[in-house]
């Protein structure tokens, strides 16, 4: 952070991320706010640089949020979720089996192979597996992970698509995915009509947010003013404004909403249950190399 | 919801999933509702609630089970939309903005999207003429097929007595000259075609057909030249220098004036001369076919310039300057190649008998007088005085086009 400039971190999970943040940067500049961005190849590095103060605000995956606030709290400070997309609220993950297979209900998964996404995917691995664990299936099934884009916290759809393909090929008995991807894969023809059965669905949870961390001394007044203006402008982005609408479309939202914290409890529990991070935000997941 | 509340509007999907077009039925039902209104979705497939949740989120609607609450994204998307004028010619505006881009005239244009900055010919007085729709319809209806519209065998079957080789080579020389002129007449409108705002649809269509007309003219004159196996004639440097000045004119109105009013106008006389005087049936036929098309090209150029001059008095001075400039640029060139002029005399003579040559010479003299008459007549239509028209017509290129 320097002077009147706000530096935002984002993870480059797709080339369009450059288009998005370049566009937002120009839009903020036209509104009189100097916002620059730094792209990271993975969320762990971004969280660490947020804590180090290299960036003022991080566009965080839900898992990155969990780690950021744990790290900040362990250092005697705290973290805040300033904003989120309308599409980040109330998502669910599902476990899908082939219609007509031996897996008719969730308990039929005992002794079976479940395809999941990358090790660090909240929606395709951590949350659905924790949900199955909560139904007493921990240790009762074999998990086969489809590791695409490790370090991207599941932003890359590849792992979920590979798990879905494996399901239809009969290589796994069930596959985990976010609700929207079931519709996507059905429309793509990967799931023909009537070919799949949803055997489990998590409770709703929230996804990405704009994260800031504060040290033990609390918010820094100079930066707070910039963050305040940043949020004001985010919330003012209007889907009716043709200059910003293409960027909102690319980023997958209709409007920015204030951040809320009640949608992350499931993921906190899943992280603890799987030992992905410890309580202080240290990476403890075995073999996780972003 | 209170017991007094009206029942929710519903949409039944008839068992069709959102992966098979069910969302179209929902969208259709939502169009009748206002943002904030609820819609009950029934009769989906086994995944209805799951898919509804994901679909609604991506469209900005709220969802609770099978009840949607309409969001405002669709309305907001069209918040800055404008109608691109009206569909018919009566709906043409004076200055269509580049932001309308390629949108159909009369369509509802969503704001945003690329500017069609390359279409810089975007003012009605400069581009439009009220005759454009009618001329386009005529042009589309008058397209002829070079293979069937001409009886190619009629000349090929002539004996050497009926069409002597010396006369044939004069015809081939004239055809060679025509082909290069037609190529210039193709390239000039083609260069401006992409610069005319598509809002002036009928003008773009008309010019597109004009370009296609010239393509056929190039074809039929080439085919005629080859008909009896003679090699093509000479392409004179002076003729090509004259045509180059047409291609080099960067201004649409001036290029249109030099090409269509003066050049193609002069060609009306030339093609009519060939139709009357050529020694063989195919030459007469191809001249007649090209003449019909050229009359349309001249009509449009003259019409839009007449309308433009009416609103822009200074334009006439620029037209005059364009003729003078072109004349000066060509002062050091020979103009019409002697080969072409002589070939026209021989073509009209039909034989090398001295009396026939003298008659051919007289016909070409009459042709040049007819060309001058036509040019002066058209210049007067553009508002020049008879005296000015005579002066300017005399400055026109010796190459005719
Ligand atoms: Fe022509
Ligand atoms: Fe023409």
Select from A180, A201, A222 the last residue of a domain.
A201
- Do A211 and A81 sit in the same domain of this protein? yes
* Residue B158 and residue B227 in one domain: yes
Mutate one of B44, B51, B57 to test the A interface: name it (highest A CB count within 10 A). Answer: B57
A137 and A153: one domain?
yes
Residues B29 and B145 in one domain: no
Nearest-CA distance from A140 to chain B in Å? 26
Question: What is the Cα–Cα distance from B395 to B327, expressed in whole angstroms?
Answer: 6
Residue A2 has pLDDT above 70, yes or no: no
Rounded distance, CA B288 to CA A225, Å? 80
Whether residue A157 lies inside any domain: the answer is: yes
Interface ipTM above 0.90: yes
**Are both A98 and A178 inside the same structural domain?**
yes
* CB contact (8 A) between residue B45 and residue A193: yes
B109: in domain? no
Q: Is residue A288 part of a domain?
A: no
Q: What is the CATH number for A141?
A: 3.40.190.10
Region A253-273: mean pLDDT is 97
Give me the pLDDT at residue B6, please.
Answer: 78
Within an 8 Å CB–CB cutoff, is residue A239 touching chain B? Answer: yes
Q: Does any domain span residue B269?
A: yes
One domain for residues A181 and A101? yes
Which residues in chain B touch residue A254, judged by CB atoms under 8 angstroms apart? 60, 71, 73, 76
Contact B112 A246 (CB under 8 A): yes
Q: How far is B325 from B169, CA to CA, in rounded Å?
A: 35
Same domain membership, residue B389 and residue B251: yes
Contact B377, B272 (CB under 8 A): no
Asked whether residue B49 carries a pLDDT value surpassing 80, the answer given is yes
Does residue A259 belong to any structural domain of this protein? Answer: yes
**Residue B335: its pLDDT value, please?**
72
Q: Please state the rounded mean pLDDT for residues B311-340.
A: 90
A194 touching chain B per CB within 8 A: yes
In a domain, B144, yes or no: yes
What is the per-residue pLDDT across A107-138, written as a single tens digit (0 to 9) for each? Answer: 999 999 999 999 999 999 999 999 999 999 98
Asked whether residue B107 is domain-assigned, the answer is: no
In this structure, are B348 and B276 located in the same domain? yes
Q: Specify whether B331 is located in the same domain as B197.
A: yes
For residue A96, which residues of chain B lie inside 8 Å, CB to CB?
A: none
Mutant choice from B15, B17, B18, B19 vs A, greatest count of A C-beta within 10 A = B19
Q: Which of A166, A161, A153 is nearest to A143 (CA)?
A: A166
Say whether both A170 and A258 belong to one domain: no
B9, exposed or middle or buried, with CB in 10 Å at 0-12, 13-18, 19+? middle
B51 with B189, same domain: the answer is: no
- pLDDT tens per residue across span B335-366: 777 889 999 999 999 999 999 999 999 999 99
* A255 and A113 within one domain: no
Asked if B55 and A179 come within 8 Å (Cβ–Cβ), the reply is no
Residues A100 and A195 in one domain: yes
Residue A1: predicted pLDDT: 45
Structure tokens at A210: 């704009």
- For residues A101 and A191, state if they share a domain: yes
The residue out of A158, A177, A201 marking a domain boundary is A201
pLDDT of residue B1 exceeding 50: no
Task: Transcribe chain A into DSSP letters.
Answer: -BTTEEEEEEE-SSTHHHHHHHHHHHHHHHTT-EEEEEEESSHHHHHHHHHHTS-SEEEE-HHHHHHHHHHHHHTT-EEEEEEEEGGGSSB-EEEEEETTSS--SGGGGTT-EEEE--TT-IIIIIHHHHHHHHTT-TTTSEEEE--SSTTSTT-STHHHHHHHHHHHTTSSSEEEEEHHHHHHHHHHTSS-TT-EEEEEEPPPB---EEEEEEBTTB--HHHHHHHHHHHHHHHH--TT-TTTHHHHHHHT-S-EEE--STT-HHHHHHHHHHTSB-TT--B--TT---
Which chain A positions have a beta carbon within 8 Å of B55's beta carbon? Answer: 183
Eight-class DSSP state of B188: H
pLDDT single digits (tens) B252-263: 999 999 999 999
Could you list which residues have their CB under 5 Å from ion ligand 2? B 185, 264, 294, 297
Let me know how long chain B is.
401
For chain A, what is the domain count? 2
CA distance A23 to chain B (A): 14
Residue among B57, B111, B112 whose CB faces A87 most closely:
B57
pLDDT at B398: 86
- Residue ranges making up the domain that contains A140: 93-201
Beta strand A142-145 pairing with A93-98: unpaired
Q: B82 vs chain A: nearest CA distance in angstroms?
A: 12
Mean pLDDT of A271-284: 97
The per-residue pLDDT for A138 is 87
- B307 with B129: CB under 8 angstroms? yes
pLDDT classification of B3: cutoffs 50, 70, 90: low
| Residue A285, domain member (yes or no) | no
Contact at CB, B54 and A182, closer than 8 angstroms: yes
Q: Among A225-234, B41-50, B324-333, which stretch is predicted with the lowest mean pLDDT?
A: B324-333
Residue A56's nearest CA partner among A214, A237, A201, A256 is A214
Examine residue B264 and state whether it is found in any structural domain, yes or no.
yes
| A216: pLDDT strictly greater than 70 | yes
Beta carbons of B50 and A183 less than 8 Å apart: yes
Task: Tell me whether A180 touches chain B (CB under 8 Å).
Answer: yes
A182 with B73: Cβ contact below 8 A = no
* Contact call for B51 and A182, based on CB within 8 A: yes
Asked if residue B101 belongs to a domain, the reply is: no
CA distance to partner chain B, nearest, from residue A176 (Å): 14
Q: Which residues surround ligand 1, an ion (CB under 5 A)?
A: B 182, 185, 214, 217
Q: What is the overall mean pLDDT for chain A?
A: 96
Is A289 a member of any domain?
no
Q: Does A179 touch chain B (CB under 8 A)?
A: yes
- Indicate whether B166 and B53 sit together in one domain: no
Domain that holds residue B163: 124-394
- Rounded CA separation B350/B357 (Å): 8
Assigned domain for B87 exists: no
Share of chain B above pLDDT 70, in %: 99
Residues of A in contact with B70 (CB under 8 A): none
Task: Assign residue B379 the CATH number of its domain.
Answer: 1.10.620.20
Domains of chain B: total = 2
Asked if residue A282 is part of any domain, the answer here is: no
Q: Number of A:B CB contacts under 8 A?
A: 71
Helix (H/G/I), strand (E/B), else coil: B266: helix
Nearest partner of A130 among A278, A274, A276, judged by Cα: A274
B68/B142 same-domain check: no
Please indicate, yes or no, whether residues A126 and A193 belong to a single structural domain of this protein. yes
Average pLDDT, chain B: 95
pLDDT tens across B167-186, in order? 999 999 999 999 999 999 99
* CA of residue A278 to ligand 2 center, whole Å: 81
Q: Pick the range with the lowest mean pLDDT from B130-134, B212-216, B335-339.
A: B335-339
Q: What percent of chain A has pLDDT over 70?
A: 99
Q: Which structure tokens are listed for A248?
A: 């909102």
Pair (A115, A148) in one structural domain: yes
Does the distance separating the beta carbons of A90 and B112 come in below 8 Å? no
**A87 and chain B: CB distance < 8 Å anywhere?**
yes
B63 shares a domain with B130 = no
| pLDDT tier, B62 (very low <50, low <70, confident <90, very high otherwise) | very high
Residues of B with CB under 8 A from a CB of A: 17-20, 45-47, 50-51, 53-55, 57-58, 60, 71-73, 76-77, 79-80, 110-113
Residue A211 and residue A82 share a domain: yes
Question: In this structure, is residue B5 part of a structural domain?
Answer: no
* Cβ neighbours of B311 (radius 10 Å): 10
Q: Which of A201, A235, A265 is the last residue of a domain?
A: A201
Same domain, B144 and B37: no
Residue A120 sits in the same domain as residue A177: yes
Q: What are the Cα distances from residue A165, in Å, to A175, B20, B175, B187?
A: 9, 20, 67, 55
Residues B125-129 have a mean pLDDT of 93
What is the rounded average pLDDT of the residues B325-339? Answer: 84
**Which of B53, B57, B111 minimises the CB distance to A242?**
B111
């Amino acid at each position: 952070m320097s002077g009147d400039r706000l530096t935002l971190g984002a993870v480059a999970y797709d080339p369009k991320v450059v288009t998005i943040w370049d566009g937002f940067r120009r839009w903020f500049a036209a509104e009189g706010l100097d916002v620059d961005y730094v792209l990271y190849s993975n969320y762990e590095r971004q969280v660490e640089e947020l804590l180090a103060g290299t960036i003022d605000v991080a566009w965080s995956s839900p898992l990155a949020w969990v780690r950021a606030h744990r790290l900040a709290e362990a250092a005697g400070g705290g973290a805040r979720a300033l904003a989120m997309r309308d599409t980040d609220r109330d998502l669910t993950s599902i476990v899908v089996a082939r219609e007509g297979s031996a897996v008719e209900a969730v308990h039929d998964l005992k002794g079976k192979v479940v395809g999941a996404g990358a090790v660090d995917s909240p929606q395709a691995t951590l949350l659905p597996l924790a949900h199955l664990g909560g139904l007493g299936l921990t240790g009762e099934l074999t998990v086969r992970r489809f590791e695409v884009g490790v370090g991207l916290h599941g932003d890359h759809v590849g792992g979920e698509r590979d798990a879905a393909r494996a399901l239809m090929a009969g290589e796994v008995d069930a596959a985990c995915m976010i609700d929207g991807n079931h519709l996507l894969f059905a429309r793509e023809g990967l799931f023909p009509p009537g070919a799949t059965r949803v055997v489990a669905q998590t409770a709703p949870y929230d996804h990405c947010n704009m994260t800031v961390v504060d040290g033990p001394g609390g918010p820094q007044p100079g930066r707070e003013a910039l963050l305040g203006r940043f949020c004001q402008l985010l919330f003012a982005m209007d889907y009716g404004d043709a200059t910003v609408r293409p960027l909102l479309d690319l980023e997958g939202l209709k409007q920015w909403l204030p951040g809320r914290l009640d949608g992350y409890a499931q993921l906190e529990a899943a992280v603890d249950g799987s030992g992905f991070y410890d309580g202080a935000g240290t990476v403890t997941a075995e073999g996780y190399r972003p | 919801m209170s017991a007094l509340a009206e029942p929710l509007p519903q949409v039944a999907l008839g068992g069709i999933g959102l992966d098979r077009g069910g969302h179209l039925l929902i969208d259709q039902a939502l169009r009748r509702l206002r943002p904030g209104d609820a819609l009950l979705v029934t009769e989906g497939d086994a995944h209805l609630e799951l898919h509804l949740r994901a679909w609604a989120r991506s469209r900005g609607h709220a969802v609770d089970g099978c009840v949607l609450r309409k969001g405002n994204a669709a309305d907001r998307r069209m918040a800055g939309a404008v109608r691109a004028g009206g569909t018919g010619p009566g709906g043409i505006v004076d200055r269509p903005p580049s932001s309308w881009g390629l949108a159909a005239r009369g369509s509802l244009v969503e704001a945003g999207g690329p500017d069609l900055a390359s279409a810089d010919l975007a003012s009605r007085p400069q581009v439009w003429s009220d005759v454009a729709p009618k001329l386009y319809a005529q042009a589309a209806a008058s397209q002829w097929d070079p293979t069937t519209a001409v009886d190619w065998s009629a000349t090929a079957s002539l004996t050497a007595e009926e069409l002597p080789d010396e006369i044939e080579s004069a015809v081939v020389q004239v055809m060679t000259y025509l082909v290069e002129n037609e190529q210039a007449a193709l390239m000039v409108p083609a260069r401006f075609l992409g610069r005319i705002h598509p809002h002036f649809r009928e003008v773009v269509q008309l010019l597109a057909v004009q370009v296609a007309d010239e393509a056929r003219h190039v074809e039929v004159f080439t085919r005629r030249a080859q008909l009896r196996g003679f090699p093509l004639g000479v392409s004179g440097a002076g003729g090509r220098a004259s045509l180059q000045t047409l291609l080099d004119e960067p201004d649409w109105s001036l290029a249109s004036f030099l090409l269509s009013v003066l050049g193609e106008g002069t060609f009306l006389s030339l093609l009519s001369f060939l139709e009357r005087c050529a020694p063989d049936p195919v030459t007469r036929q191809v001249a007649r076919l090209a003449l019909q098309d050229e009359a349309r090209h001249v009509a449009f150029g003259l019409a839009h310039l007449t309308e433009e001059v009416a609103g822009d008095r200074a334009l006439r001075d620029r037209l005059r300057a364009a003729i003078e400039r072109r004349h000066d640029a060509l002062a050091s060139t020979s103009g019409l190649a002697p080969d072409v002029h002589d070939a026209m005399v021989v073509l009209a003579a039909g034989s090398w008998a001295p009396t026939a040559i003298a008659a051919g010479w007289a016909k070409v003299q009459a042709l040049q007088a007819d060309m001058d008459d036509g040019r002066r007549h058209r210049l007067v239509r553009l508002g020049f005085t008879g005296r000015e028209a005579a002066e300017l017509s005399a400055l026109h290129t010796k190459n005719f086009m």
